[in-house]
Structure 1
Amino acid sequence: MAKTAELARDFHGQKLYQKRARAVLPILVRQAEVRQPVFYEALAQEVKMPNPRNLNYPLGCIGTTLNEIGEEWGSDVPPIEALVVNQTTRLPGPGFDGFLTEKGESWNNKEERKALIEQYWARIYSYPYWDDILKELHLKKTMDPAELIIAKARGSGGGEGPEHLALKLFVCANPQLVGLRAIDRTGKTEHCLPSGDIIDVIFDYSRRIHAVEVKPKSSPDSDLARGLFQCVKYRAVLHALARHEHDKRNITVCLALGGSLPARLVPLRNSLNIDVFENLSPSG
């Protein structure tokens, strides 16, 4: 019991990083359950942190606490903080390397580091005791604030109006708005998939396929939720098609919004691991 009391003092203290660690850990457990990493920026937004760089302290607290629980239980607890990744590299930042070296891990290049982290992700996803970890730390699982919105999203969407068409053409002509480079070739609209779905905009390059679902500013929250799930479907179909055609190109999917993503949908975006680009306007 002495060890548990020590954990409680460290993890349940009143310092800001400790409070943030308690907010972050249930979110990471949710991400582990859906088998998806989460970007530093996206996680910071969900816990209302203005600067994602400050996540290093809560994540370090989580890592230390899980190590101590593992020692108390006599079994290793995977480093769930590895699920927080950089939006560019899609891998944990260099701060995670200290944990790897403490575990005796080594690597010679970026490819070996990535392979090593993917092994840890597999352990995190398959670990069966995350609920027990939360109970040990007196934490509750995350609640979905978008449950009613998702229910409404089950209905059919509306047809394409002039606002949607204008935004679609604007995105098509400006790849830099959705995570690509301004010098990249413009995209194409209305790309048909074998599933019968139609992607609003697709950028088809020699090394990458980038699909974009577009939602205008006037879209209700239920339609934005529907757009997030559409991105999931496009991603799955594009990956299946690529496997069938032996296409080795990188496949990415995103949601482009004329307005902003409501705070209630941020957890859904994070759990589905969808990039969202906001406040895009043809009128500037």
Structure 2
Amino acid sequence: MNGQERLAELGLNAVKASYYLELPIEIIAEAAAEDETPTWLDFCLTAMEEAAEEDDDAFTYLQVGEDIQGTSWSEITAREAIPIIVEYALRGEVLTYGDLDRELRERDPERKPAGTLPKYAKPLGLIGNVIDQIREEACLKDGVVPRDYSDIPPLEVLVTRGRTGMPGTGADGFLVSYLNAVGEKNVEDRLHFERKALYSRAQHDVMAYGKWGFLLGLCKK
């Protein structure tokens, strides 16, 4: 069996294996597709197979959206923020950290002010993680997400700093991941010189996108 078949025996694919091996999905996928499994991947798979023999639940995969399913402040905030940001996207508008804080407190009178607004960077990062996961799963033949979501853009880039009018640097990785996925070239290098233009492109894509149903569904779990 090649690497893909051995991963399948474990109930895994490249995306799922990347969570456990802490390696880029592309590296695992390329190695697993080779007829002769590279030594390093064979070593990893053998160890995983031994672990699976000892524990049937050893590789119970973190489900899509699990990052926002908990009870921490950041996870709750991420779930509550997603519908708000989607509403802004459908209206073709960006919002600031202050706008997000106000909207959240208007909808939940018991919510206290966040204090320092950069505190929202963590829940926005969780949203970014989930959207990346949705996109990656949608690109897989055996993924759990419909193929329609393979081009889902990074919703969180609509949230900007009031002073600069730009998202925080914490969104850079999600921007790069998305633009690479839709075919942009040399995004990481260009980000140093074309930051505003690249973010404008992504924000435009978010506003033009209409398939938020899967993501919104995760907020209700």
> If the TM-score is normalised by the length of the shorter chain, which range does it land in?
0.5 to 0.7
Q: 3-state DSSP class of the match of 2:115?
A: coil
1:120 aligns with 2:185: no
Shift in Å at residue 28 of structure 1?
A: 0.7
CA distance in 2, matches of 1:53, 1:82: 14
Shift in Å at residue 32 of structure 1?
A: 0.5
Counterpart selection for 1:40 from 72, 88, 97: 97
CA 1:19–1:114 in 2, change beyond 3 Å: closer, same or farther?
A: same
1:69 aligns with 2:134: yes
Could you say which residue in structure 2 is the equivalent of 1:130?
Answer: 212
Map 1:229-268; keep pairs closer than 5 Å.
none
CA distance in 2, matches of 1:138, 1:30: 14
Shift in Å at residue 138 of structure 1?
A: 4.3
Per-residue displacement from partner, 1:120-162 (whole Å, max 9, x unpaired)?
0111111120133212x1439xxxxxxxxxxxxxxxxxxxxxx
CA distance in 1, matches of 2:175, 2:207: 18
Q: 1:80 is matched by which residue type in structure 2?
A: L
Structure 1 spans left out of the alignment, 5+ residues: 141-284
Contact residue 67 and residue 129 of structure 2 kept, 8 A = no
Map 1:1-284; keep pairs closer than 5 Å.
6-48=63-105, 49-74=114-139, 75-102=150-177, 103=180, 105=187, 106-107=189-190, 112-135=194-217, 137-139=218-220
Over alpha carbons, which structure has the higher Rg? Answer: 1
Per-residue displacement from partner, 1:258-280 (whole Å, max 9, x unpaired)?
xxxxxxxxxxxxxxxxxxxxxxx
How large is the RMSD of aligned CA atoms in angstroms? Answer: 2.5
Contact residue 68 and residue 78 of structure 2 kept, 8 A = yes
Moved over 3 A (4+): 1-5, 100-104
CA distance in 2, matches of 1:26, 1:99: 19
Contact residue 154 and residue 202 of structure 2 kept, 8 A = yes
CA 1:108–1:123 in 2, change beyond 3 Å: closer, same or farther?
A: closer
Q: 3-state DSSP class of the match of 2:190?
A: coil
Q: 2:124 is matched by which residue type in structure 1?
A: L
CA 1:41–1:132 in 2, change beyond 3 Å: closer, same or farther?
A: same
Aligned length: 138
Could you say which residue in structure 2 is the equivalent of 1:143?
Answer: none
Q: 2:161 is matched by which residue type in structure 1?
A: N
Shift in Å at residue 101 of structure 1?
A: 4.2
Contact residue 40 and residue 85 of structure 1 kept, 8 A = yes
Contact residue 82 and residue 219 of structure 2 kept, 8 A = no
CA 1:44–1:34 in 2, change beyond 3 Å: closer, same or farther?
A: same
Could you say which residue in structure 1 is the equivalent of 2:142?
Answer: none
Q: Which has the higher helix share?
A: 2
Shift in Å at residue 51 of structure 1?
A: 2.6
Query: Once the two structures are aligned, what percentage of the paired residues are identical?
Result: 33
Contact residue 64 and residue 130 of structure 2 kept, 8 A = yes
Q: 1:107 is matched by which residue type in structure 2?
A: R
Could you say which residue in structure 1 is the equivalent of 2:111?
Answer: none
CA distance in 2, matches of 1:25, 1:100: 17
CA distance in 2, matches of 1:139, 1:99: 23
Structure 2 spans left out of the alignment, 5+ residues: 1-10, 17-60, 106-113, 140-149, 181-185
Q: Give me the TM-score of the superposition, normalised by structure 2.
A: 0.56
Per-residue displacement from partner, 1:33-83 (whole Å, max 9, x unpaired)?
001000111212222333311101000000000111112222132001000
CA distance in 1, matches of 2:100, 2:78: 12
Shift in Å at residue 109 of structure 1?
A: 5.2
CA distance in 2, matches of 1:98, 1:31: 22
Q: Which has the higher strand share?
A: 1
CA 1:38–1:108 in 2, change beyond 3 Å: closer, same or farther?
A: closer
CA distance in 1, matches of 2:219, 2:80: 12
